[in-house]
Amino acid sequence: MKTVLIVFGGTSTERDISVLTGVMTANCLKSSDYAPVPCYISASGEWFTGDELFNVEFFAEPNFKRLKRVTLVAGESVLYELKRGKLRKFSDITLALNCLHGAPGEDGSLTGLMNMCKIPIASPPLFAAALSMDKAVTSSLLKRFGFLVADGFKVERREFYENSENVVERANEIGFPLIIKPASNGSSIGISVAKCRDELISALRSAFLYDEKAVVERYLKGARDINCAAVMLSGGVKVSLADAPETRGEFFSFADKYINGEKYRGAVTENDEKQKISDEVFIEARNLTKQIYELFSFEGIVRIDYLLSENKLYVNEINSVPGSLSYYLFPGKMSAFTKLLTDLFDFTLKKHAPEKTLKREAEEKLSFKEFKGAKRRKG
């Protein structure tokens, strides 16, 4: 049977959200043609597997002694158990799925590891993931290609502590209020709104607790959040519905996303507040999502977040591993999402099959030419 390694947890501040995504996904696949192999990365970076990982309650008071410690080996599509200093084969791995939020998942590190292990991964490629992880780089690239982004600039931690007044001057050129974000953090962790100089200084200090680089942007007061996801399948890019989640504070916060999220999230036709947003806006969000997905050469499920301000859609950020894999944006029950995942896996394996064949043929031809050349030199 085909197996899919579901990697979640991790060492970032988004670890708990990743657990929810990973456990949900692993359970979704139990009835599919792909046997899920849950793999939890602990806060210290150790890898574990076991049936307990299918139960989210296990993580309330985790007992890692009940799990098997595992690892991968470069060049082998096999998950090994680490026991008494020796490697024992645990399971062949057909492909992998990245459910790690933040590093080392969304920055492309996990994809790079899977590439070294020759394990196809149904998630964004390394370069696309690394690009979209950095909000400053993403904004600069999108702006160059004509997409609308809020005015802003990046600030290095060293630059801030050496000359904070220079940062304040640049901020004054944009004008308060401003929103400050860690450049490579997600789930709205470390984000603050600053309405004056002192609040800016405080917000940057907070952001630098999570990252060495921060982004300072114009705060679009009264803007509405619009979310949309996309995935590459055999028939091309499939774009989800666009959603307008309700924001209770100055921005779409961690609490809005993960504590009040289910209470305030609904289909775009079911919330009276959403009816104030025209259908044209949702259509534009879906069109922009497809364009950005293709621009970055993404694969896997990716969510793109927008801010609607004065009837204009600003690209806010790209989530290459979105929370819960954005299942709520794709219509249908959970069984429909399971089908979406298996279609994604089928596409991933189909895409990698000719790739492996071409590489093998090229290696065989190269080896044959080298062999003939060596014979001629010897003769």
* CATH number at 2-123: 3.40.50.20
pLDDT at 374: 52
Amino acid at 330: F
Q: Identify the CA nearest to 228 among candidates 297, 308, 152, 145.
A: 308
Examine the pLDDT at 154 and tell me if it is beyond 80. Answer: yes
pLDDT at 93: 98
Kindly state the average pLDDT of the residues 289-316.
97
pLDDT at 357: 54
Q: Where in the chain is the domain with CATH 3.40.50.20?
A: 2-123
pLDDT at 268: 40
What's the pTM value of the predicted model, to 2 decimals? 0.86
Which CATH fold topology does 222-329 show? D-amino Acid Aminotransferase; Chain A, domain 1 (3.30.470)
Q: Where in the chain is the domain with CATH 3.30.470.20?
A: 222-329
Q: What is the DSSP annotation of 318-375? A: EESS-GGGGGGGSSS-HHHHHHHHHHHHHHHHHHHHHHHHHHHHHHHHHHHHHHHHHH
pLDDT at 103: 87
pLDDT at 265: 43
Q: Where in the chain is the domain with CATH 3.30.1490.20?
A: 151-218
CATH number 3.30.1490.20 is the correct assignment for the domain at 151-218: yes
* Structure confidence by residue, pLDDT tens digits, 47-86: 999 999 999 999 999 999 999 999 999 999 999 999 988 9
- Residue linked to tokens 């060049």: 75
* Structure confidence by residue, pLDDT tens digits, 157-216: 999 999 999 999 999 999 999 999 999 876 578 899 999 999 999 999 999 999 999 999
Q: Which residues contact 172 (CB under 8 A, 6 or more apart)?
A: none
| Inter-axis angle of helices 126-133 and 109-116, nearest 10 | 170
